[in-house]
Amino acid sequence: MLMSIDSISKSYNAFPNPPAKVLHDVTLNIDAGEAIGLVGESGSGKSTIAKCMLALIKPEDGAITYDGIDVIHAKGEELRRFRREVQMVFQDPYGSLNPRMTVEELIGEGLLIHKLEPTAAARRKRVAEIMDMVGLNPNDMDRYTRSFSGGQRQRIAIARALVIRPRILVCDEPVAALDVSVQAQVINLLQDMQKKLNLAIVFVAHDLAVVRHLCEKIVVLHKGKVVEQGSRDEIFGNPRMPYTQSLLAAVPVPDPVAGRARRAARRLETAN
């Protein structure tokens, strides 16, 4: 077990109103090299869990342990190692890259601050390698991200996260803002990288079809609680909880015959 999240809770201050509790006793584990999907609707707390896993916010209760590090209280060398080994990719390809840095500076920043490559030339070489690996042209290294498309930006974001060889990559809705025709490229890239680098991927999404495609293990969240978790086959083939069932039933299918049949069946069910 690489990371364990043990019954964490989190509330947000809404003064003068009473605080809003967004996570209730959430527990889940991540093994090395596995892809795990956190799915839920808006307000399910999935992004809050991702932020806790990245130590961007601290839960009030519970514990998060990564490879022997107490994440919530980590300091100094321990925190530095955690920051090197757990990385993330965000939803918004426009807001997630500093517009005042070149592609080289963006991707090379991790190498620089973790002192992984001593010289600028060596860093540059590593940046070129990783750009090539994620399907970017290394000649674009000196450009700013302004002129890149959403899909290319997500590749840059992935390269920036992966260049320091993390062991966990947390992806918060990484394809939700992309065009349909580009979405598949990024999903395939993530899948590819996971296999090549033996990376654990935590994939936060509202789109169950994408999660089904990418993740072996699924955690279904609803109103800050884990409703159901299990393997892909369990969740999609034989969901036990009514919430999971209703969620799956509502996903539209790009096939008129199957789609109409699914909707007709569902309406019949609700009518009864």
End-to-end CA distance of the chain: 45
Q: How far is CA 36 from CA 67, 78, 110, in A?
A: 17, 25, 25
Q: How far is the CB of 17 from another protein (least distance, A)?
A: 5
Nearest approach, Cβ of residue 161 and another protein (Å)? 8
- Specify the 3-state DSSP secondary structure of 224: coil
What SS3 class is residue 116? coil
Per-residue DSSP letter, 148 = S
Q: How many CA atoms lie within 13 A of 86 on its CB side?
A: 25
Q: Which is nearer to another protein, 6 or 92 (CB)?
A: 92
To another protein, the closest distance from the beta carbon of 120 in angstroms equals: 16
Smallest gap, in angstroms, from Cβ of residue 168 to another protein?
11
Closest C-alpha among 106, 96, 100, 86 to residue 176 = 96
Give the whole-angstrom CA distance, residue 126 versus residue 69.
28
Q: Which is nearer to another protein, 147 or 272 (CB)?
A: 147
User: Which residue's CB is nearer to another protein, number 107 or number 141?
Assistant: 107
Which CB sits closer to another protein, 25 or 73?
73
What is the DSSP track for 253-271?
Answer: -S-HHHHHHHHHHHHHHHH
Q: Which is nearer to another protein, 22 or 25 (CB)?
A: 22
- As measured in angstroms, the least distance from the Cβ of 37 to another protein is 12
